[in-house]
Every structure is written in structure tokens, then in C-alpha cells.
Chains A and B, each alone.
Chain A
Amino acid sequence: MLDVKAGDDASFNFLLRKYRTPLVNFLYRIVRDTATAEDLAQEVFLRVYRAREQYSPSAKFTTWLFRIATNLALNSVRDNRHHKMEVSIDISSSDEEDAAPRELPAREKRIDEHLIEQDRSDIIRRAIFSLPEKQRVAILLHKYEEMDYADIAKILECSESALKSLLFRAYETLRVELAPLVAQPGTHRGGEGRAQ
């Protein structure tokens, strides 16, 4: 990043190649829309480029990068939610799905329906997406980016103990949400790898 700061375009291209996939996946798991995730990832790289002069070596680059990504993604989710709420009021009050897109039905019923209609990946993705924003970001950074507690705490602007509590609550929720999958024997298919 220091080379990028010094104006080296090749170093910026290196960062682009290295972080585009984890970044797009991280953003996709927050916003759940491929096009939006790619737009946001482009915006992240553009902001990194714009802010290269302000980059300080004291901050870890990945922490800085994912902090920008987190802020952009959460803003996008909030804007989108606000937009959806406006649309649902304008179009029809009878469309319950649009009127309350983030309302979760009873857990058992929801999981049973998903087991029938959706594949496992979609169920897992939905379960992650149903988490409160901070918990969602926390487990994505913890599980997929394998970041240290200190770095995640910096991104989420909380203490390490608060982060551990946040992670515990998030995994506890997923444990309940994904109970049918957890109970199934041989749940690990192991063929699709990790985000990194």
C-alpha cells in the first residue's frame, strides 16, 4: 500500500487482484445482490485509491480495506431497506413480503420450508443475512476473512470483549436457525472451499 501511496500503479493492480474476490464475497454476503456487491467493491477500491495519501502504515491494510467495505455495505443495506419500505407503502399494503421484508417467520416453519424449496447454501446464506448487521459483519470477518479479534473490533468500533459477546450471540442464533442442517449426518460437503 505504501507503493500505491507513492504512485505505483502496478502495486494498486496487485491489491486489486489480491482482494477483489474476498471483497466481492464479503459484500455479497451482506447485501445479497451480485450487481450491488460488485458496484460496492469497485467503490471500495476507488476510495482506497483516493485515500492512498492518508494511509498510515500503523493501520493494517486489510483492516482499513474492510472498514471501508463495511461502512459502504451497511449504508447500502440501510438505504435499500428504506427504499423498500417506501415502495411497499406506495404499492400495496396487502403484499406482506414487501411490507416487512426482514421480518422472520417462526423458525421451525421457516427452516422446514427452506429445506424443501431451497438448497443448503441458500439456507445458510439466508440465515447469515437474517442476523443483525453488526453480528453479520462480525461473523463474516471472523469466519471467512479469519481476522484477529482486535482487527474486527477496530472495524466495528467496539471492544474485544464486546466483539466476543457479539460473535457468541451470532453463532448462537445460527445454531438455532440452522438446527435441521446441523442435525443432519455428514453435513460437510467440503467441495466449495472458503472465501479466501
Chain B
Amino acid sequence: MKCEDVSNHLISYLDRRTSSADRSEMEDHLGTCAECRTRAEEFRKIWTLMEELPVLEPSVGFDAHVRERVAAEPRRGWFGLPIPKFVPGFMLQPRLAFSAALLIALCVWTARLPYRIHAPVPAPQVTAQNDMEQFQEINDLGVLENYDVLTNLDALSELAPVAERSTTTPASHDHAHDNGGA
């Protein structure tokens, strides 16, 4: 290595950021060249001198000033569009916004569940309808128990539709039979 090459390698040599080959080459040169050796020693001293500079601490209000300036910045949302002030801050955070959307979706889904459970089932309605029919038949029991009416075929024919309807449920059918027997 020549003195001209030292300028390219001396800093990295002093920093210990050079390859072992370059390092040994530099050490060979410094062993023979007093001028470069002095320069290397003085560079090290300069670095030590630079460490003497005191550290300047930022003023007490530094952080507060930065935060004030940041807070005064217009908020930007997706695609860099400005966001109105009434939009809560957490909505600007994608993860929180996603969580909020998920929560809302869960609430909506849960709210829909009771409707499915208590949805009107046709079978009980049919039962209720049969109860009403049976009640009507009970109302007509007086007619059925009247012997004169029973002996009148025309009157019996009037009961035909009721008798037909009563066939839909075995219970009412039995009632009709029982009453007929009586």
C-alpha cells in the first residue's frame, strides 16, 4: 500500500470495518511510514477530542411543542382524503376500525337470532285453529243434544259442514260420535 491509498482505507481501518487482508496491508504500511502512522494516531486523538463536546438536552417544552404541532395537522384518512373532526380518532386506525366493524356485525347477527327462534311456527297455529273449532262445536252442543233437531234430517244436514271440518282432528270426530250416540 502507498501513502496515496491511505486516504481511502484509513478511516475504515480505524473503525475496524475493513477486511483482514486490507487490515494487514494497512498495518504493514503504517509500520514503515512514520507520516501515515502519525496521521492515524492523531485521527484517533481527534475522535477522542470530539467526545468531549457536551450533550445538549432539548428544552422542557420540546415534546409538548411537537405534539401541539402534530395535533394541529389536518387528519387524513384513506387515499389521503381529509377526515371531518366529528369522526372519532380510533376509526382512523385500520385495525381498530376493522374490530369495530366486526363487533357491529356480530351485534347485528346476534340481534337477528331471537327472531329465528321465536318465528311463528305453522303447527301451533293449526292447533289454535282446531281449538276454536272445538269451541264452536261445544257451543253447538245444545243443538246436538236436542232430540227433535236430531230427528230432523234437514237440521242434521245443516251440521254437515261442521262434521266435515271436525274430521280434520280425531278429537273432534270422537266428540261428534259421542254426541251422536247420545
Residues of A within 8 A of B (CB): 6-8, 12-13, 16-17, 20-21, 24-25, 28-29, 34, 37-38, 41-42, 45-46, 49-50, 53, 120-121, 124-125, 128, 139, 142-144, 149, 161, 164-165, 167-169, 171-172, 174-175, 178, 181-182, 187-190, 192-195
In the complex, the answer to whether A171 meets B43 with C-beta atoms within 8 Å is yes
Q: What is the bound-complex CA distance between A185 and B19, given in angstroms? A: 33
* Residues 67-115 of B at the A interface (beta carbon under 8 Å): 67, 69-70, 73, 76, 80, 92-95
Is there a chain A Cβ closer than 8 Å to B42's Cβ? yes
Q: What is the bound-complex CA distance between A168 and B40, given in angstroms? A: 11
In the complex, the answer to whether A195 meets B55 with C-beta atoms within 8 Å is yes
Q: List 21 A-B contacts (CB under 8 A).
A: A6-B95, A13-B67, A16-B67, A24-B58, A25-B56, A28-B56, A38-B62, A53-B80, A124-B49, A124-B50, A128-B50, A139-B50, A143-B47, A144-B50, A165-B8, A168-B7, A168-B11, A171-B46, A178-B49, A182-B45, A188-B49
In the complex, the answer to whether B55 meets A46 with C-beta atoms within 8 Å is no
Q: What is the bound-complex CA distance between A6 and B90, given in angstroms? A: 11
Q: What is the bound-complex CA distance between A188 and B51, given in angstroms? A: 8
For A37, give the chain B residue with the smallest CB separation: B56
In the complex, the answer to whether A16 meets B11 with C-beta atoms within 8 Å is no
In the complex, the answer to whether A8 meets B11 with C-beta atoms within 8 Å is no
In the complex, the answer to whether A6 meets B94 with C-beta atoms within 8 Å is yes
In the complex, the answer to whether A42 meets B62 with C-beta atoms within 8 Å is yes
Measured between C-beta atoms, what is the minimum distance from B73 to chain A in Å? 7
Q: A172 to chain B: which residues have CB within 8 Å?
A: 39
Known: A12-B70, A165-B8. A7 touches B52 (CB 8 A): no
Q: What is the bound-complex CA distance between A120 and B48, given in angstroms? A: 13
Measured between C-beta atoms, what is the minimum distance from B121 to chain A in Å? 49
B73 touches which one: A49, A143, A181 (CB < 8 A)? A49
Measured between C-beta atoms, what is the minimum distance from A114 to chain B in Å? 13
Would you call the interface of chain A mostly helix, strand, loop, or mixed? helix
In the complex, the answer to whether A178 meets B46 with C-beta atoms within 8 Å is yes
Measured between C-beta atoms, what is the minimum distance from B69 to chain A in Å? 5
Q: B56 to chain A: which residues have CB within 8 Å?
A: 21, 24-25, 28, 34, 37
Q: What is the bound-complex CA distance between A172 and B53, given in angstroms? A: 19
Q: Which 3 A-B pairs have the closest CB atoms?
A: A7-B93, A168-B7, A188-B48
Known: A187-B49, A192-B52. A164 touches B63 (CB 8 A): no
Is there a chain A Cβ closer than 8 Å to B66's Cβ? yes
Is there a chain A Cβ closer than 8 Å to B154's Cβ? no
In the complex, the answer to whether B51 meets A190 with C-beta atoms within 8 Å is yes
In the complex, the answer to whether B11 meets A171 with C-beta atoms within 8 Å is yes
A143 touches which one: B50, B54, B80 (CB < 8 A)? B50
A49 touches which one: B48, B58, B70, B92 (CB < 8 A)? B70
Is there a chain A Cβ closer than 8 Å to B16's Cβ? no
In the complex, the answer to whether B42 meets A175 with C-beta atoms within 8 Å is yes
Measured between C-beta atoms, what is the minimum distance from A148 to chain B in Å? 8
For A45, give the chain B residue with the smallest CB separation: B66
In the complex, the answer to whether A125 meets B53 with C-beta atoms within 8 Å is yes
Q: B94 to chain A: which residues have CB within 8 Å?
A: 6-7
In the complex, the answer to whether B55 meets A164 with C-beta atoms within 8 Å is no
Is there a chain A Cβ closer than 8 Å to B57's Cβ? yes
In the complex, the answer to whether B58 meets A121 with C-beta atoms within 8 Å is no
Q: A175 to chain B: which residues have CB within 8 Å?
A: 39, 42-43, 46
B66 touches which one: A16, A25, A125, A167 (CB < 8 A)? A16
In the complex, the answer to whether A6 meets B58 with C-beta atoms within 8 Å is no
Q: What is the bound-complex CA distance between A110 and B177, given in angstroms? A: 133
